[in-house]
Each structure stands twice: as structure tokens, then as C-alpha cells.
Amino acid sequence: MKKLILTVAILAGGMSTFALPNNILPAESIHVVVNEAFKEIALDKLPAAVASAVEKDFATASISKAYVNDNEQYKLELTVDGSTSTVYADKEGNWLEESAIKSDENQ
């Protein structure tokens, strides 16, 4: 009889652990923004204003890749001391924030 009561108590305790809510939330969320509207272009196709803006503001950087979208906004991959960073500019050489990039869906 003691074994039966002990068995029932263990099973009841084991079943109650499944009823507890699991409220584990991620510490931080990751947002990935993909902008596929840009098409790669040759570096010699960059407007002079964009090239001179890079030379002026990023003197030690070199342009490794250049992309353009339908709104003539440029995405430039700059290499500085072996590390790559991405900047955006319009056709006049003005720097743009990534949030200001216009895509075909936003027009």
C-alpha cells in the first residue's frame, strides 16, 4: 500500500511540472533587413560626385564594390585596413541613412 501511495505521489508530481508555463523570452531580438533592389555596377560607372565624396570623407578607404538601385541611389562597400563597411549615397554624393533608401515598393 505504501508503494502504491508513493507511486501515485511521484506520478502526480511529475505531471504537474508539465503544467507550468514556459515564459522564457529572448534577451534581444534580431532584425534583418534585406534590400534586393540594388544591382552591382562597375566602379568606373560611379558618378564623379559619389567618387569625390568618398575621397573627401573616407580618404583612407577604397571602394571594393558599388551597387545602384532604380532611384539612382548608390550602395558602396568600402574597405579600410582590411575591414569592410557599407555606406549609401545619392547621385549628387550626399550621404544617406539606410532607412532613407527608397525601394520600388515604397514609391
Q: What is the DSSP string of 13-77?
A: HHHHGGGS------SS-------TT-EEE-GGGS-HHHHHHHHHH-TT-EEEEEEE-TTSEEEEE
| CATH no., domain 37-98 | 3.40.1420.30
Read off the pLDDT of each residue in 2-17 and give the average, rounded to a whole number: 74
DSSP at 28: S
> Which of 10-14, 29-33, 102-106 comes out lowest in average pLDDT?
102-106
Query: What's the pLDDT tens digit per position in 58-92?
Result: 889 999 999 999 888 999 999 988 889 999 999 99
Share of the chain above pLDDT 90, in %: 40
Chain centre distance of CA 22: 29
CA-wise closest residue to 74 among 87, 55, 85, 60: 87
Nearest-10 Cα torsion for 18, 23, 28, 31: 80
Confidence of residue 106 (pLDDT cuts 50, 70, 90): very low
User: Which cell numbers hold the place of 61?
Assistant: 578607404
Provide the pLDDT for residue 104. Answer: 42
